[in-house]
Amino acid sequence: MIQNKCTIYSSTLYKTNREKQSDALITKKGNCLDITFCEEDDFDKFEEDLSSLCGNSFSYYFKKRVSSSIISIISIVVIMFAFLSVSIYEDLLKKIVFEMPFEWETNDSIALGFVLLFLFGLFLMPSILEAKRSEFKNILASWLNKDIKKQKRVSLALSQYDKKTQIDIYNIDLLEKEHWVYQILLKALFKKFSNINIHVRNDEVKKIEKRLSSYNITNIEIVKEKSKAFTKDINFLFSSREQKLNSLLQLCSTKKFNTSLVYVSLELFEYCGKNLLESNEKNEHLTFGFQNFINRSFDDFKFLRQEDSSRIYFTNNFHFKVLSDEQRRLAYFLRNHLEECIEYFDNPISLLILYNYVKDIVLDERRVLNILERFIVTVEKRQQYKLIDEYWFEIAGKMFDSYDLKSFETTKESIYRKLSVESLNFLLALFERNGYFEQAILVAKYLYEINPNKYSVLISSLYERMGLFDEAFSYLPKELQINENKKPSEIEIKYLQRKAWIIVSQRKEELRQEGKETLEKLFTLISSHNEDNEPIWLWHYYNIKANYEEWDCNFEEAIKNYKKCLSIPTLGAFEYGATFVNMAIAYRFTYLTSTKQKDASIIQKSIYYGKVGLQLKESVGDRDELPVVQHNQALNILYKELYSIQKEDELLNEALAYTNEAIEILDSTGSIKRLGMILMENIICKQLLQVDFDDIVTRLKEHLVNLDDNELKQLLNLYKEFKKANKITAINFLEND
């Protein structure tokens, strides 16, 4: 081999002249030969491309076609001559052995000459075969060894170029040591050329340097070029393993979000790679680690750029692919390992991507909310406030006004209503950090009831940050009530709640004052500490207080307290549903007790809120209270019908359906709670709709003995009002009461 120089370059794969896999492996530009390999390239393609490159050279054509043909002809002649010599030797030997004596003729002399020549050739053969640089030996070896034959053809083609020609080789670090590129091509190149550059990935430099040592290359220089941006697509250079990891990297990104930058979760990438990719490869192992591929993506491929410790995003060099099937498989894998992922991930980007994958396929909503709550915590922990601005509102939308009851129908499924108080507090702070002061104020107002002192000061601070000093001052309490008592135990609260509720539920006049005093004790206990109150404590208090206001016929005050119930955060459909049902009842009483002309808008509110409450109760499958809710909604509709001039069949059919279902549920559960009222409502609906109701009348007659005084009074009052308005016909057994 000639004394040559070899330089190993890293971070320079983009310099290749090859643009795609279908392009030629080898190209010539100036005094440089560019050779680039893909994993699928074979020797035939290389030889074809090399021949195409050298095809216009007369000397190459002559050597490859004419000289090889002449050598082949000569070889054939030599072989034929050898066979001829053997045959002549055999004939002459037979003649000498079996025909002695015989006449020596001219032909015998010629035969003897051939024999002597054959013997001389055999005598010299070992020396010929051992002779150094023997063309004969090479020719013979090429007949017997395919690699040598291939190497000879490659050397013949490369002989057209000057030994000082610069050779640039790309991507051979993907190939195994036994590959034909190492066994054939490199040997031919190092024999011919003195200036060879090999371009490889950063993490493969040492491996290539070690392999080159087998070629006795002593002048090896390693050059790592400075990071340089480029836009060339070099995906075609990837190995099959890199293609897999490249697809996985895309899957572990925020591509589905509508943002300018597509962030990547390396945490999710490594987790999925180890648990999904490697487990599917059974006995096969990755030839390089995930971190190596990440390093390549930064240095060699220029796919990734780092904004900070948590945010790594794709550059324009990355080319996205359609991976619908892969996304679906990954989504179900993550769903099955959801809790493990939530515990393992500490990067908010990972949790964002996790949420996006499983939000539509996880049936238990609480599991999905756990992702978002973990996301909020990690954003606060890592101080990645920008992520709230970029992603949160796309997920959860804007915060609602908790005092606007009209918006409840559209916000009842809002994520904000389902987050824990702790998460809402974190979110409030994150909104403030992002300058979303109005959103932060809405969250603070939503949390206000659980700790008025704390959140009034916080709301004031937020208004001050906005430069609204009058509003800031108005929200500050005149004086702060600082209590030193500890937060009461749950049993203390529940005892007072239950006592006050039982009294107001049965409406026993002799216990009214005791019930109010119990309610006052409950409020004092709730207000006796500085910590956050439990939302459910507050809901029970305001709900019970509203019922006492109804008992005192203060329906407007009752409605105000129900509205406070709806403004309390983190409650579920059960509590909110009960509140809407109760508020609908309060509006119905307001409508019925009005001394002026009946305002239809009031009873319409009653029907609307009653329907919202009914839907919320149905959403949680509350069969215990559902018949009572249906009874109240039917009653709301019937009282509208009582004072309406025109009959509304659609509403009446709705009320009839409620009472029919309520009867079915009570029959299936064996309960008789409010059954008398439901039967009466069912009869009225059927009479108004001119539907047969005799069986229900019979049943009501039999059930009367089971009614308490309060329910019987309500039933008779409803019957008499509709009878007096000539809406229904008389029922004899009710006329006597």
- For every residue of 24-73, DSSP letters joined together read -SEEEETTEEEEE--TT--HHHHHHHHHHHHTT-HHHHIIIIIIHHHHHH
Whole-number pLDDT of residue 286 = 45
Each residue's pLDDT tens digit, 47-70: 888 888 876 554 544 455 544 555
pTM (two decimals): 0.75
Each residue's pLDDT tens digit, 282-298: 444 444 578 889 989 98
Q: Quickly count: other Cβ atoms within 10 Å of residue 205's Cβ.
A: 18
List the structure tokens of 383: 């101080």
Per-residue pLDDT band at 144 (split at 50, 70, 90): very low
Q: Is the confidence at residue 148, as pLDDT, over 70?
A: yes
Please state, in angstroms and as integers, the Cα–Cα distance from residue 609 to each residue in 236, 603, 650, following that order: 63, 10, 18
Each residue's pLDDT tens digit, 352-375: 999 999 999 998 999 999 999 999
Q: Is the confidence at residue 655, as pLDDT, over 50?
A: yes
Alpha-carbon span 182 to 428, nearest angstrom: 63
Question: For residues 126 and 544, which has the higher predicted lDDT (pLDDT)?
Answer: 544
Beta bridge partners of 35: 26, 169
Q: Is 259 helix (H, G, I), strand (E, B) or coil?
A: coil
Per residue in 467-488, is it b (16+ CB within 10 Å) or e — as a string? Answer: ebeeebeebeeeeeeeeeeeeb
Whole-number pLDDT of residue 58 = 47
List the structure tokens of 173: 């670090």
Q: Is 647 helix (H, G, I), strand (E, B) or coil?
A: coil
H helix or E strand, kind and range, residue 95: helix 68-98
Alpha-carbon span 270 to 289, nearest angstrom: 9
Whole-number pLDDT of residue 285 = 46
Edge to edge, the sheet with strand 5-10 lists 26-29, 32-36, 166-170, 195-200, 5-10, 219-224
Give me the half-sphere count of Cα atoms (radius 13 Å) on the Cβ side of residue 550.
25
Whole-number pLDDT of residue 212 = 86
- Asked if omega into 535 is within 30° of 0 (cis), the reply is no
Average pLDDT rounded to a whole number, residues 292-314: 88
Question: For residues 239 and 405, which has the higher predicted lDDT (pLDDT)?
Answer: 239
Whole-number pLDDT of residue 507 = 83
Q: Is the confidence at residue 1, as pLDDT, over 90?
A: no
Alpha-carbon span 442 to 172, nearest angstrom: 61
Residue 663 near residue 683, CB atoms below 8 Å = no
Alpha-carbon span 634 to 585, nearest angstrom: 11
Q: Quickly count: other Cβ atoms within 10 Å of residue 462's Cβ.
A: 25
Query: How much is the CA Rg of the chain, to the nearest whole Å?
Result: 46
Whole-number pLDDT of residue 36 = 94
Average pLDDT rounded to a whole number, residues 540-564: 94
Alpha-carbon span 506 to 737, nearest angstrom: 22
